[in-house]
Amino acid sequence: MRPPEEITALVTGATDGLGLGVATELARRGARVLIHGRNPERAADAVARIEAETQNDRVEIHLADFASLVEVRDLAETIGEAAPELDLIVNNAGIGGGLPESRERQESLDGIELRFQVNYLAGFILTERLLGALRAPARVVQVSSLGQAPIDFDDPMLTRAYDGARAYAQSKLAQIMYANDLAERFEPAELTANSLHPATFMPTKMVLEERGAAVDTLELGIKSTLRLAIDPALDGVTGRFFDRLEEGEPHPQALDPAARARLRELSLELSEGR
């Protein structure tokens, strides 16, 4: 990885919580930071806050609602034009298994189970479409979770016996599987892809609304994520899952090449609307 002041980084879901913290620390280190959000006012507030804290004026807004694949594709095109040489993608945007979203089953504008699309599929499409813009040695970081559930390929959209927590956990495992898939497809000198559980129940909006209290600090989550993003000690390290600052073990399905191939096929079908 190049020194932070020489990189261009994209952080999704960067208008509050972990994403905002990671974007702020990248900017503090001199990086050009593209922050993604879906609300223009919140995104503008985030940029103003980052610039005030870091004195870095190379922070840019890119808007898209991940519940719309049209907006995700447009976002990829816009970023590809704005940053034809991209060094880092942090796929952080997501929704939880309960509040502040509904615990009930919801579908995206594309008719896809909402948590699967927002937490996983949108990041898959965005990253795939930006692979040509990533310059070696690039990094992709998937902000996942210890909460993982195997994908039921007979009912991946969970149309039967829906549970929000399971939908969330399935989408988080899909993120890890995708990172491992990327790690298989690229030489480490070109691109590394890793995933992590940044911290347990950080004091973010969705954690506080769902649980009422945090466990780990937001600072730990930022530190853990930033380590995967820019730490030179992780040059060439790829296809790993980290539990905060230590390497961990994901659900066995993430290590199954056949399952990863099925997920990739499903993802391409959904992303192409077949």
Look up residue 107 and give its DSSP letter.
B
Is 120 among the residues known to form the active site? no
CA distances from 218 to 18, 34, 199 (A): 7, 21, 8
CA distances from 153 to 30, 134, 258, 259 (A): 43, 31, 12, 9
- Phi and psi at residue 242, in whole multiples of 5°? -120, 135
Counted residue by residue, the chain has a size of 274
Cα–Cα distance measured from residue 74 to residue 77, given in angstroms and rounded to the nearest whole number? 5
Cα–Cα distance measured from residue 165 to residue 54, given in angstroms and rounded to the nearest whole number? 37
Cα–Cα distance measured from residue 63 to residue 13, given in angstroms and rounded to the nearest whole number? 10
What is the torsion angle, in degrees rounded to the nearest 10, for the CA atoms of residue 267, residue 270, residue 271 and residue 274? 130
- Name the catalytic one among 120, 162, 168, 178: 168
Secondary structure of residue 87 in the 3-state scheme: strand
Contact 139, 225 (CB under 8 A): no
Cα–Cα distance measured from residue 131 to residue 216, given in angstroms and rounded to the nearest whole number? 33
Evaluated on CA atoms 33, 36, 40, 42, the torsion sign reads negative
Q: Whose CA is closest to 191, among 126, 232, 137?
A: 137
Catalytic residues: 168
